């Protein structure tokens, strides 16, 4: 079952584009998460269990802890927004 060379090239190009897009999306998500974390106060960072110097490491590690921290970050940010509005 030989495929036409142009079909294989097209599939390869699509695969490369998908990987590039996924890498960009992950980089952007880390960048946004880092910006949000740097925008939090030290007290809120302490509430989610990290210090300011641990932000970059926490964002780069794709672990269960990071997913939990992401939820806490959103909750802390929402709390901060509520406090600012009051």
Q: Is residue 27 part of a domain?
A: yes
Q: Is residue 75 part of a domain?
A: yes
Name, of 7-11, 14-18, 39-43, 66-70, the range with top average pLDDT. 39-43
C-beta separation of 39 from 31 below 8 A: no
Rounded mean pLDDT of 58-78?
71
What is the percent of the chain where pLDDT is above 70? 66
Q: Is residue 2 part of a domain?
A: no
The model's pLDDT over 23-33, given as tens digits with 9 standing for 90+, comes to 888 888 889 99
C-beta separation of 74 from 82 below 8 A: no
The tally of domains found in the chain comes to: 1
Q: Is residue 72 part of a domain?
A: yes
Q: With a threshold of 0.75, does the pTM exceed it?
A: no
Residues sharing a CB contact under 8 Å with residue 36, sequence separation 6 or more, in sequence order: 73, 77
Q: Is residue 79 part of a domain?
A: yes
User: CA-CA distance, 61 to 76, in Å (whole number)?
Assistant: 20
| Domain assignment of residue 57, given as a range | 21-85
Q: Is residue 14 part of a domain?
A: no
The model's pLDDT over 17-54, given as tens digits with 9 standing for 90+, comes to 888 888 888 888 889 999 999 999 999 999 888 899 99
Q: Which two tokens stand for residue 83?
A: 């406090």
């Amino acid at each position: 079952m030989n495929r036409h060379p142009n079909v294989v090239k097209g599939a390869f190009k699509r695969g490369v584009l998908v990987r590039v897009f996924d890498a960009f999306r992950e980089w952007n998500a880390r960048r946004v998460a880092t910006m949000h974390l740097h925008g939090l106060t030290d007290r809120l960072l302490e509430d989610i269990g990290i210090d300011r110097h641990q932000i970059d490491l926490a964002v780069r590690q794709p672990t269960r802890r990071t997913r939990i921290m992401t939820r806490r970050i959103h909750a802390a940010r929402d709390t901060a927004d509520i406090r600012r509005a009051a």
